[in-house]
Structure 1
């Protein structure tokens, strides 16, 4: 099964798309960026604003990877809870990370407003739906931690209160964070790309970077099938689609996990507004969780892990996800599924994003663990600041040492690989 061959709802319902030519011959610039998703587009955008000449190389098309295939949920926080991050990192770092999370949504809103990008941005918050009674208790403990240590407010709902938010028999309660948002992710990507080109930036599509060579003259040369880019700086932001052939060290620190989505046919507005009453982004507390939302054209978009047994095929994966949709919203039994698609979510060993600069000069950001719709735009800005060295502050996500995934160890056994793989799958948050 190749999930990349399935057209996402977002691409099928997008604004006009600019088709871009592949690179032919040599091109010189200040910064070459590999990857035409949110991270690369944001980095180039912020550099171009400051007069840098940027070139993006995209293997497929702008937004063709995770940036155009995600659920369009721009969430506060990270894959792990803030309580866990507080315990691991300490209060100062944890507060800085929560601030970054909130800043990321503010930045997206600012970019959309300043550049008049039409992408259905709504900041109505998100719901965490509790799958068990014990999960409600955990949400209450998280609420207490957020208030006590971060002065941050979320509302916890008992089962009878959740009906004011969700019309679903599956859940036992939940919590509401008012600061999250949603958008049409593909329209944001192509809108940011058009904005970047209007500022003088260059994007080459259908142009795969095949080799990176760091020359002694402080230049980097990126080879492609029909040309080269010669630049002063390089940014690698291919996340879960990074190959060992391109950069072995980075590739060996990323776990790419398949996530799949379905979307219903267009439904009457009163139906979708009755199911998700306040048009919030939603995800639940199951280990293999569901995430779902309303769309601006009155569909329910519904996602989950692509995990399957060895005998499962593509149809089983999507059929099981459809069953999950009906568990959450039995009223949709007669609604047809109009779209189904999938893509790769990038994880690190710490389930937190990595950003920084390697000794060979490669700038990187990846491993968003399901929160890339929010964090990737901000980390693109941080990458730009790293390159400009513009009196920037330190980012708590910056990494000096990259942690290789255990199964890349020479002596790792297949059983350990599978244990780690399923541990990751059981921890996907959205």
Structure 2
């Protein structure tokens, strides 16, 4: 009998507590996604350099997530459990990085801190995906991932709006001084560091963990698997041994994340150029565009928080595949539509479609995958699955700058539209995936 089918159903508040840490984690990711290109540009980066400078994010994910997944699978402490030590350590390091990022005085410093920040966020985030597989039976796994998506959306809405709130509500300066980072961005990162740490700490203190079914066997297997050589062989060998469903989802993820990476890298410069009429990162108009992109990102994340609880209902009525396909096509076409919009208020409309796609991206692939994985290797395979999140970002980082310069004449709005087309293609490719898991709940 699959152990995941015999686990007790958790209450709403138990699901809440075990997922609340994602509220803080997404504070970190949202501040990174909405402001990193803005910080790089303010410190002197050219648009064609941005994808290469962003490589820190996917490369650290490629290295960190499978290793942390493997280590957390092979960790057990009577008090700390299996995943929670990694939640705590990652949160502490990520909070420090969030305080350091807006104090970068040179481009190389900001890039170095991005490496540290993304690695630390990944240490906290990866075990959260396996946490759902550990604690929930198959009938609650979609609901568990939906609860995570809800907190991801809520955290991202607030974090994305922080520079605007500091500027418009509290009167903090949004203008760079002597080439430095505006105070609106600086204070936003300080707030994000605090929220990240305390939200993850809430989950660490309020959520328990289930011990391995056979503790003696677990300890014996852990003893046999000691050594970094064995660990690396296991981690990267997983690419050759992954379940069929995982391989099919990998194709979908590849094209999905090209679209997302293009959006995160180029939204600020695209909106500044296409709507605010400037490419000068030191100008007030460019910084205003940066704040408006934060508002746009808040919209898509807010929509995703609401959609997180609606999508499982549609999945029960149709299938998880149909829901994911529909959401990705809607999101992709919405990104493409930004190319044709030159009014900043109208830019909020396509963010609704992107939010629907984002909710599905954070829920459906993991719910489909969790039902196809062996319970005792949940963290390991979730880490390996992250390869198909970061590899397309690395490919994008290496190629999008060249494409933008040589095919689109430096106009990043065209690169944004290309990303949307890639996401729509990912939606169509969803139909090749075989979902063998229990019905969504």
TM-score for both structures, normalised by structure 1: 0.27
- By percentage of residues, which structure has more strand? 1
TM-score when normalising by structure 2 = 0.27
Which is helix-richer, 1 or 2? 2
The answer to which structure, 1 or 2, has the higher relative contact order (CA under 8 A, 6+ apart) is: 2
